[in-house]
Structure 1
Amino acid sequence: MSTPPGELLSHTPALRPGILLSPALLRGPATVHLIKEPAANASFEVGEKEYFLISRLDGVRSLAEIGDEYARAYGKRLAAAHWQRLLQLLGARGLLAGGPPRPAPEPRSGGPFEGTVLRGTLRLVADAHATTGRLHRLLRPVLRAPVLLPLTAVLAAMEVLLAAHLPELARDTWWLVRQPVALVAVCTLLWLSTALHELAHGVAARHHGGTVGEIGLRWRLPVAVMYCTVDNYRYLRSRWHQLAVAAAGAYANLLFLLPFLAWWAALPPGDPTRRVLSGLLLLGSVQALVNFLPLPPLDGYTMLGHALRVSGLAPESGRYVRLRLRDRPAAAAYPRRARTLYLGYAVGSALLVALVLAALATGLVLLPVH
């Protein structure tokens, strides 16, 4: 038996505490928002109008008051049947306060290990959120602008200095690749840097109000890397906070190199230890700086998506370009901002890949032969 319209519109429903709502994101031709119920680890996507309604379910405003706001914004008043469908959907997903929560996902069976010897994952800590929380409490004093700004200037100066010594670094790196023992040591340090990279994402997420779901080891033999899963970075309200979480990994890679730079600078050119450190500094800088390129799956691509408030920038750009080649009237129906971003990214990323390949080819040609 349905609720009478007048009685329904007098209700003041509220979202369950802890429900996450993302900022507006461009996806294809549409503007969307993500909604997540953290306890069930479930999320879904809604359009602008649905978000307008859902975001106002605060337990204070009645449906009639929200309906008045909607009518002023969109020039259309919602019928009671529309409200009933919306509330039923939210209730079924466990998003309404006072309603039954959505069942939590079943815990993974088989312990922390998943996969096979050749390919799999291994969770390294039982509670990744608590682990990164302890690291955050330890590092919090340095995660402030008065510390980070001069430190960033030091890192920039480091890269300028290394660029000025690029011929020496390249010669020493070429020497290094022919020294198996030294090369293994450098690769081990670079692997450790990747582990710090992942932990830095987690600590930055904790610093800006995010949650960390898992820390572990992932391997596709012969490669094995650390990973740190940040669950809700898309729902951070500040664009700067999202960018900081995405950039933290490469920033940590550069910080890792600082003490080795001091050691390198204290040694005379030609010293065997300096030559090993040259290789570490060059390869480590490349490892960090490449991560800032706006190409998937690199951190720079994630940062660009956050900066532009776009979801799925690369696949949507490819989809738009294919549509533009096949059906120009349909492509013209995209909003101007979407057309500009998708075409710009498609062209820009293609040029960037060409430049990277050209730089690699040039580097190979110019490699010292002795």
Structure 2
Amino acid sequence: MTTVDATWTRPRLRAGIVLGPGQWRGEKLVHHVKDPETGCYYRVGPREHFLLSRMDGTRTLDDLAAEYAGTFRRRLGPESWQQLFGMLHQRQLLDGATDPAAIARLTATAAEATARAWRGPLSARFPLFDPDRLFARLLPRLAPLFSWWFVVPALLVVLAVAGYVALRLPELLAAVRGGGRPVPVILAGVVITWAIVFLHECAHGLTCRQFGGRVHEIGVMWRFPMLAPYCKVDDIVLFTPRRRVATAFAGVFVSMLALVPFVAIWVWGTRGALRDLAATLLLFGTATAAINLVPFLRLDGYYMLSHALNLGDLRADTYRFYGRLLRQGLGAVRGYRPRDRVVYALYGLASLAFAATVLTLLVRYWYVSLAHWVGSGWAVAILVAEALVLVALAAGLARRRSAASGGGADPGKVTSTTV
């Protein structure tokens, strides 16, 4: 049937290779494949995924061809098999057909690509340690926290905390504006805030580990103009949509639960520095959680929405959708699923409205402040200069991304061109 090497007549993927469920990227359904030995993630189409998921060493090529023909109403010819096995050999995914030198090259390429993607003036990552063993030891003790018996009551508590902060907002703001806090209280507020943010990231990692993923990196991330901890949970692409949503939500969930003691301090505490500290943490913590849930910022809420809709990258695919629509008309987007056309159209319009509102408020606030300090003329000049600088930075970043994407093959991508 084919000229594929006889050792592959009953093909088997290497031990540890993980195949993920499908996600939509524009018009295409893609599946992620993880090779834990090299750290590479590949994207394949549903037809390749169909064949790879059946390469368990028990089926011959004739068996695979018959199942494929029964599902896709198409026979696989020798050329298709050669291309498929060529790709598998290039990525070292087949059992019994690996080359240690090739695996080492793939490992180095994946590590270099990851480092290059997060190195720049506006964003960078600084890894601190590998938490996988720590999480593996903690999970058996924390297993009850992942049951519905804990999650549902805890979620009600989180909603109660958010509601209480909203109802008591004037009192909390008055306490925070009071000022006159001792330096130790200010330092305590900073330390506690960073501790909660660290717990937030650990919650993402522990949830990812609970669902079978691995977490090999916790560090500090620079994303202009903020510096914050991060936890790398790349294995989330291998989960079902519901588990991806849960992993993305875990950070905000734990952050809000961490505020419960400060609600108690605020409600039952006496006036003083400790109660003012509780007010500050309640306001800042709740505001941070709310911002995290805004689906137009690339934070937890954005990823929750993308995962709930089972879309790989909602923002990027929305840009691509509107680009094709505006350049080529309705015919260029007819290949999208009807539901996705509605989602991309509405998300694009909502994003534009959100960005315009935020930009208008920021410009107005900054203009009023500048005009108070230097006069209206200089305020306008400064705003124009800042706008030009931001446009130049955005253009430079776009060129950098374009050069990075065009500089070579993506080590984490396998295109669907063979079957």
| Offset at residue 338 of structure 1 (A) | 2.8
| Corresponding position of 2:317 | 316
| Corresponding position of 2:372 | none
| Offset at residue 45 of structure 1 (A) | 1.6
| Corresponding position of 2:131 | 128
SS in 1 for 2:220: strand
Shift in CA distance, 140/335, structure 1 to aligned 2, threshold 3 Å: closer
| Corresponding position of 1:15 | 13
Query: Could you tell me which of 48, 56, 59 is aligned with 1:58?
Result: 56
| Corresponding position of 1:148 | 151
Q: Which whole-Å CA distance do the structure 1 matches of 2:286 and 2:362 have between them?
A: 15
Alignment of 1:132-281 (within 5 A): 132-176=135-179, 179=181, 181=183, 182-219=185-222, 224-236=227-239, 238-268=240-270, 271-281=272-282
The one-character-per-residue Cα deviations of 1:328-358 (angstroms, maximum 9, x if unpaired) are 1213343323312211221233344456678
SS in 1 for 2:323: helix
Is 1:100 the counterpart of 2:98 in the alignment?
yes
Q: Which whole-Å CA distance do the structure 1 matches of 2:360 and 2:311 have between them?
A: 29
SS in 1 for 2:67: helix
| Corresponding position of 2:86 | 88
Q: Which whole-Å CA distance do the structure 2 matches of 1:224 and 1:9 have between them?
A: 52
**Which amino acid letter does the alignment assign opposite residue 138 of structure 2?**
L
Q: Which whole-Å CA distance do the structure 2 matches of 1:251 and 1:44 have between them?
A: 31
SS in 2 for 1:212: coil
Which fold has the larger relative contact order, with Cα–Cα distance below 8 Å and residues 6 or more apart in sequence? 2
Q: Which whole-Å CA distance do the structure 2 matches of 1:199 and 1:84 have between them?
A: 44
**Which amino acid letter does the alignment assign opposite residue 189 of structure 2?**
V
| Corresponding position of 2:287 | 286
Q: Which whole-Å CA distance do the structure 2 matches of 1:82 and 1:272 have between them?
A: 72
| Offset at residue 119 of structure 1 (A) | 9.0
The answer as to whether partners of 2:17 and 2:93 remain within 8 angstroms in 1 is yes
Shift in CA distance, 198/154, structure 1 to aligned 2, threshold 3 Å: same
Q: Which whole-Å CA distance do the structure 2 matches of 1:100 and 1:84 have between them?
A: 17
The answer as to whether partners of 1:9 and 1:80 remain within 8 angstroms in 2 is no
Give the length in aligned residue pairs: 353
Query: Could you tell me which of 327, 335, 338 is aligned with 2:337?
Result: 335
**Which amino acid letter does the alignment assign opposite residue 134 of structure 1?**
R
Q: Which whole-Å CA distance do the structure 2 matches of 1:197 and 1:138 have between them?
A: 18
The answer as to whether partners of 2:259 and 2:282 remain within 8 angstroms in 1 is yes
Q: Which whole-Å CA distance do the structure 1 matches of 2:301 and 2:27 have between them?
A: 23
| Offset at residue 257 of structure 1 (A) | 0.7
**Which amino acid letter does the alignment assign opposite residue 64 of structure 1?**
D
The answer as to whether partners of 2:2 and 2:77 remain within 8 angstroms in 1 is no
**Which amino acid letter does the alignment assign opposite residue 266 of structure 1?**
W
Q: Which whole-Å CA distance do the structure 2 matches of 1:263 and 1:361 have between them?
A: 38
The answer as to whether partners of 2:157 and 2:257 remain within 8 angstroms in 1 is no
Larger helix proportion, structure 1 or 2? 2
Alignment of 1:68-83 (within 5 A): 68-83=66-81
The answer as to whether partners of 1:8 and 1:80 remain within 8 angstroms in 2 is no
SS in 2 for 1:24: strand
Structure 1 spans left out of the alignment, 5+ residues: 365-370
| Offset at residue 264 of structure 1 (A) | 0.9
| Corresponding position of 1:368 | none
**Which amino acid letter does the alignment assign opposite residue 245 of structure 1?**
T
Q: Which whole-Å CA distance do the structure 1 matches of 2:80 and 2:333 have between them?
A: 31
**Which amino acid letter does the alignment assign opposite residue 76 of structure 1?**
R
SS in 1 for 2:30: strand
Q: Which whole-Å CA distance do the structure 2 matches of 1:134 and 1:334 have between them?
A: 45
| Offset at residue 255 of structure 1 (A) | 1.4
SS in 2 for 1:23: strand
The one-character-per-residue Cα deviations of 1:199-248 (angstroms, maximum 9, x if unpaired) are 11111111111100112234579854222212311102x32222221111
The one-character-per-residue Cα deviations of 1:132-181 (angstroms, maximum 9, x if unpaired) are 222323322322211121111111111111111111122223334x7473
| Offset at residue 122 of structure 1 (A) | 4.7
The answer as to whether partners of 2:200 and 2:252 remain within 8 angstroms in 1 is yes
Q: Which whole-Å CA distance do the structure 2 matches of 1:363 and 1:275 have between them?
A: 27
Q: Which whole-Å CA distance do the structure 2 matches of 1:121 and 1:286 have between them?
A: 25
| Offset at residue 271 of structure 1 (A) | 4.4
Moved more, 50-59 or 183-192: 183-192
Q: Which whole-Å CA distance do the structure 1 matches of 2:205 and 2:245 have between them?
A: 13
The one-character-per-residue Cα deviations of 1:289-340 (angstroms, maximum 9, x if unpaired) are 2212223420111111211111121011012112212211213343323312
Shift in CA distance, 361/147, structure 1 to aligned 2, threshold 3 Å: farther
SS in 2 for 1:96: coil
**Which amino acid letter does the alignment assign opposite residue 278 of structure 2?**
L
Alpha carbon RMSD of aligned pairs, Å?
A: 3.3
Q: Which whole-Å CA distance do the structure 2 matches of 1:301 and 1:279 have between them?
A: 26
Shift in CA distance, 219/322, structure 1 to aligned 2, threshold 3 Å: closer
Shift in CA distance, 354/138, structure 1 to aligned 2, threshold 3 Å: farther
**Which amino acid letter does the alignment assign opposite residue 41 of structure 2?**
S
